[in-house]
Amino acid sequence: MLRFILKRLWNGGLTLAALVTLTFFVMRLAPGGPFSKNRKISPDVQANIEAAFHLDEPVWKQFGRFVWGLLHLDLGPSTRFRDYSVGDIIASGLPYSLTIGFWAVVVASVVGVALGIAGALRRNGVTDYVAGIVGVIGIAIPIFVIGPILQVIFALKLGWLPVGGWDAGLRSLILPVLVLALPNIAYISRLTRTSMIETLRENYVRTARAKGIGWRRTLWKHTLKGALLPVVAYLGPATAAIITGSILIETVFALPGIGRHFVDAALNRDYPLVMGITLLYGGLLILFNIGTDVVRAWMDPRLRNAQ
């Protein structure tokens, strides 16, 4: 098992290195730089500013500087937000993104699995249909449509929740978490339902029942673990995607997370910030994938032995 984990980590590290290197050079191909403006300042002053951020050096040297900084856990200063280093910006935004992401994953897993099981046990019943409808809505309607609709209903019409921001404590969390969780509730409930139905037909489940084990015990002890394998496989990358994919949520709900910085940094050619967030997102994605593999291997001995 340890060898399995180490091998995955090594491969993950290589992937991350490739991603970071590619991003660094591709980003410099985009026209314009962090300090292009339509109003000319003195060429000497412009040169001084560029030199302060080492933009006057050849790109390979800048890359060397970046790697050297990385080895010292220093991502450098942001060119757009002059009061903060890239490390400061990530440290200040990440807790918000993680909080929303964490609750969205919890809500999506609990509600999704529950709906899926209910649907599988009472196929074509009321719950099953409701779950199906929620699923279709969650998958089909994009965040930037459903978010504003919920804002209008719950903030403007009913006045129960704030439109955005982080000032109202728990109430600020409800809408963003819900909207972020919704498509995942849909996927998870469909996955659980299908997989549950398949597992219920498995021979070992029938054997368990034939041996006289109670229905409830069969379900919890024998069926669920097998049925949830695909859900776990989905959940790893989905968690990473939820945390890193909150860009739209953060924009629509005016939350101070990290996602908004990503697009903004790219548009402003804030090279260090783009690199920092790419590294973070890439790292998260790879780590969660490895985590998923480990959990699946633990749940399903066949996978472990195949390694």
Partner 1 sequence: MKTTGIGRWLAGAALALSLGAAAPAFADDVLDRGIGSEWSSLDPQVNFDGAAGWILMDAYEGLVTYGPGGDVQPGAAESWDISEDGKTYTFHLREGLKWSNGDPIVAQDFVNSVARTLDPATVSEKGYYFYSVVQVKGAADIANGVTTDASALGVTAPDDRTVVIDMLTPAPHIMFIMGAFQIPPLHTPSLQANGAAGFVDPAKVVSNGAYVFREIVPQSHVLLEKNPNYWDAANVAIPFVKYYVTEDVTTELKRYQAGELDITYDIPVNQIEALKASIPEQVFISPATEVTYYSFDLTKPELQDINVRMALSLAIDREVLQEKIVKGGAIPSYSYAGGFDPTYDGPKMPYAELTQAEREAKAVELMTAAGFGPGNPLKLNIITTVAEDRTRLAQGVALMWKKVLGVEATVEPMERKAWLDAFYAGGWDVFADNLIGDFAGAETFLAYQRPSSDPGYNWVKPEYDAQMDVAATKPDAASRNIELAKAEKILLDDLIFAPIAIEPSRSLVSPHVKGWVASPTGYYNSQFLSLE
Contacts of 129 (CB under 8 A, 6+ apart): none
Closer to partner 1 at the Cβ: 111 or 150? 150
Q: Can you tell me the distance from the alpha carbon of 123 to that of 129, in angstroms, rounded to the nearest whole number?
A: 9
Q: Can you tell me the distance from the alpha carbon of 263 to that of 183, in angstroms, rounded to the nearest whole number?
A: 22
Closer to partner 1 at the Cβ: 36 or 305? 36
Q: How far is the CB of 201 from partner 1 (least distance, A)?
A: 48
Identity of the residue numbered 64: G
Q: How far is the CB of 152 from partner 1 (least distance, A)?
A: 7
Closer to partner 1 at the Cβ: 98 or 254? 254
- Kindly tell me the burial class for residue 185, based on how many C-beta atoms sit within 10 Å of its own C-beta (0-12, 13-18, 19 or more): buried
Identity of the residue numbered 240: A
Any alpha helices (H) in 159-246, and if so which ranges? 170-200, 203-210, 215-217, 224-227, 229-244
Q: How far is the CB of 168 from partner 1 (least distance, A)?
A: 7
Closer to partner 1 at the Cβ: 34 or 291? 34
Q: How far is the CB of 31 from partner 1 (least distance, A)?
A: 4
Q: How far is the CB of 66 from partner 1 (least distance, A)?
A: 19
Closer to partner 1 at the Cβ: 171 or 217? 171
Applying CB under 8 A, which residues contact partner 1? 30-33, 35-42, 44-45, 48-49, 52, 80-84, 88-89, 92-93, 148, 151-152, 155-156, 159, 162-166, 168, 251-257, 260-261, 264, 267-269
- The answer to whether the beta carbons of residues 219 and 208 sit under 8 Å apart is no
